[in-house]
Structure 1
């Protein structure tokens, strides 16, 4: 594992009784192995946890992950490199994303509600 980050409403302090706990895990495993790891973890934690493989998340969710709290990292420089590449990629994607969602649009994907801020 490269890093584990708590993100979403719990990390922001805006959660309520119905909120889940969003966790993103970055790994260098292949796609299938990473998904097996995710299923393994989900089978061993309470249902309130929503665990995702960072590399499988949509780009606009990946950006939000980096607004969260780092729970674990193997290499600080690698985490910064991944964050930098993600931000750069998002900046290229952002005009298309904003065209898609509109000025005050909302997208719902993989149980994540993402609003343009």
Structure 2
């Protein structure tokens, strides 16, 4: 039977900081939810790739875009920009970057468990974007 839980990003379970941003992680029941805060100048291939140890982000994501614009390029060359109010479902194999001068805030319902976590990319897969 599921129990009631109430968590808040004001007190995340874990915060993973990296150049130009951070991942705020909440453990809620059997799930993990991440809020990614990405500053202008952030790019996965520059700021998280060294942590992940993979050529592109290998974590799939299911994300709600709260603020800012995020450029996304899949390994197959597909490219688009997601903005506030958008929902993206990304398979593994992508890069991402902040577009413009506004910070990006994304709530990641799937994919944040090991995102920007040291050695996570080497052990299984990595994440953001």
TM-score when normalising by structure 2: 0.24
Between Structure 1 and Structure 2, which shows a larger proportion of strand residues? 2
The structure whose Rg is larger is 1
